[in-house]
């Protein structure tokens, strides 16, 4: 019998959008952000932000400057490995704020690239409690020290053409990507496609070990990934295009004829906003869920300004602006009520019924796992 990894993950990390929203009704939504005394009141330089492509808009930078008096510049990157490798080359220099995925934070700590957060400088009461607590187990806290302020969460699940490949909740599965009729019509990201495929195989009782054990030992990982890789290679003809960033994933639908894909929620939301017949849904095995946040590089020069930015991101106004622009789910209390109706509708369609209870949260990916993950991904891509 297949082990129910999602159940154990939910028990360890009890985090959902509904939990996020519970208890936040009393939050004052119209309260303007006020910089505390002692924060960066008269910055002489720019706050240097490095974040995912599409995460920070000019409107956000203008609103931050208006609220705090601090000017900020934004450098975009496309993948976790891109920013991690850049920080390694620069030895943690060059930016005041970076935005790594939560499960990869221990990689930065191991390489001495980010500094512990001074928790006395963060307005924690603005952050949804369950996000703050769950982030401790998902990678934000290492050896008793916190290295990230959680700002958002999202998922990777199934984007689909509503006209050519309609799906319904409860029946939609990662297996839909690999069906014979989807030959040459699917797009996936190499390493996470193997996890989605693994969740399907696990549900079918075809993995030798619980999938979550793959993140705990090399022996378990190789045992599972050998099975997953063999299945992926056998079905590789379904993949019209592999993606590594959001632009590539959207391009698969726009120019490469894909009608189904394992993508981020923001990818599908962006396509839908462009008028494409694309929707997004959680599969019955559970959407792959991640959390992100703001971390402080060891070479940060504008420290007070960085903390002012962290606190501003947790206001309802900034959270709603950020969520609407980046198509992610903010951790700022009270932001939900300020979101456009289209964003609320997308969320409801993506996570109906018990979908939030089935979220499969990415475990911490230690350096040895990332190295082996790349090894298996390369075999898949090169087959």
Residues 182, 167: Cα–Cα separation, whole Å: 13
Contact 35, 344 (CB under 8 A): no
pLDDT in tens, 303-346: 999 999 999 999 999 999 999 999 999 999 999 899 999 999 99
Which residue ranges form the domains of the chain, and what is each CATH number?
A: 15-153+291-349 (3.40.190.10), 154-289+359-382 (3.40.190.10)
Contact 281, 157 (CB under 8 A): yes
pLDDT in tens, 59-74: 999 999 999 999 999 9
DSSP code at position 186: E
Long-range contacts of 138-142 (CB under 8 A, 24+ apart): 138/13, 138/102, 138/103, 138/291, 138/361, 138/362, 138/363, 138/364, 139/102, 139/103, 139/104, 139/105, 139/106, 139/364, 140/102, 140/105, 140/293, 142/105, 142/106, 142/109
- The half-sphere exposure of 167 on its side-chain side, counting CA atoms within 13 A, is 29
Residues 65, 68: Cα–Cα separation, whole Å: 5
Closest CA to 370 of 8, 75, 85: 85
Contacts of 355 by beta carbon, 8 Å cutoff, 6+ apart: 169, 282, 287
Residues 276, 76: Cα–Cα separation, whole Å: 25
Residues 366, 383: Cα–Cα separation, whole Å: 26
pLDDT in tens, 10-29: 223 334 443 443 333 333 33
Q: What is the 3-state secondary structure (H, E, C) of 110-124?
A: HCCCEECCCHHHCCH
Please report, for residues 88, 180, 229, 241, 325, the alpha-carbon distance to residue 234 in angstroms, rounded to integers and kept in the order given.
36, 11, 8, 16, 38
Closest CA to 306 of 319, 295, 314, 298: 295
pLDDT of residue 130: 86
Residues 119, 115: Cα–Cα separation, whole Å: 12
Closest CA to 27 of 340, 369, 376, 314: 314
Please report, for residues 146, 152, 201, the alpha-carbon distance to residue 141 in angstroms, rounded to integers and kept in the order given.
4, 17, 32
pLDDT of residue 8: 30
pLDDT of residue 179: 98
What pTM does this model have?
0.81
Which residues of the chain, if any, have pLDDT below 70? 1-45
pLDDT of residue 45: 63
Residues 150, 129: Cα–Cα separation, whole Å: 10
* Cβ-count burial 158-176 (b if 16+ within 10 Å, e if not): bbbbeeebebebeebbbbb
pLDDT in tens, 143-169: 999 999 999 999 999 999 999 999 999
């Amino acid at each position: 019998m297949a082990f129910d990894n999602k159940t154990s993950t939910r028990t360890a990390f009890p985090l959902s959008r509904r939990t996020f929203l519970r208890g936040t009704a009393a939050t004052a939504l119209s309260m303007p952000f006020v910089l505390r005394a002692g924060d960066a009141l008269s910055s002489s330089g720019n706050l240097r932000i490095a974040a995912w492509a599409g995460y920070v808009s000019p409107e956000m930078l203008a609103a931050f400057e208006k609220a705090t008096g601090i000017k900020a510049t934004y450098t975009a990157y496309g993948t976790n490995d891109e920013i991690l490798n850049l920080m390694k080359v620069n030895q943690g220099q060059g930016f005041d704020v970076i935005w790594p995925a939560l499960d990869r934070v221990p990689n930065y700590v191991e390489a001495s690239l980010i500094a512990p957060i001074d928790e006395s400088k963060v307005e924690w009461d603005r952050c949804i409690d369950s996000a703050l607590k769950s982030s401790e187990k998902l990678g934000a806290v290492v050896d008793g020290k916190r290295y990230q302020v959680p700002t958002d969460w999202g998922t990777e699940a199934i984007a689909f053409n509503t006209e050519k490949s309609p799906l319904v909740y409860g029946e939609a599965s990662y297996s839909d990507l690999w069906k014979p009729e989807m030959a040459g019509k699917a797009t996936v990201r190499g390493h996470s496609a193997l996890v989605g495929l693994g969740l399907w195989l696990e549900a079918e009782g075809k993995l030798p070990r619980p999938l979550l054990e793959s993140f705990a030992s090399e022996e378990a990982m190789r045992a599972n990934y050998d099975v997953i890789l063999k299945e992926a290679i056998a079905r590789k003809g379904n993949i019209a295009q592999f993606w590594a960033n959001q632009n590539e994933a959207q391009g698969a639908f726009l120019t490469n004829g894909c009608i189904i894909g394992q993508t981020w929620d923001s990818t599908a939301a962006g396509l839908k906003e462009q008028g494409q017949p694309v929707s997004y849904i959680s599969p019955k095995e559970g959407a792959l869920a991640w959390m992100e946040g703001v971390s402080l590089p060891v070479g940060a020069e504008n420290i007070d300004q960085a903390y002012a930015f962290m606190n501003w991101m947790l206001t309802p106004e900034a959270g709603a602006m950020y969520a609407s622009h980046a198509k992610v789910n903010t951790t700022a209390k009270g932001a939900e009520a300020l979101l456009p109706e289209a964003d609320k509708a997308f969320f409801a369609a993506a996570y109906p019924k018990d979908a939030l209870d089935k979220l499969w949260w990415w475990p911490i990916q230690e350096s040895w796992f990332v190295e082996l993950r790349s090894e298996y991904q390369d075999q898949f891509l090169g087959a």
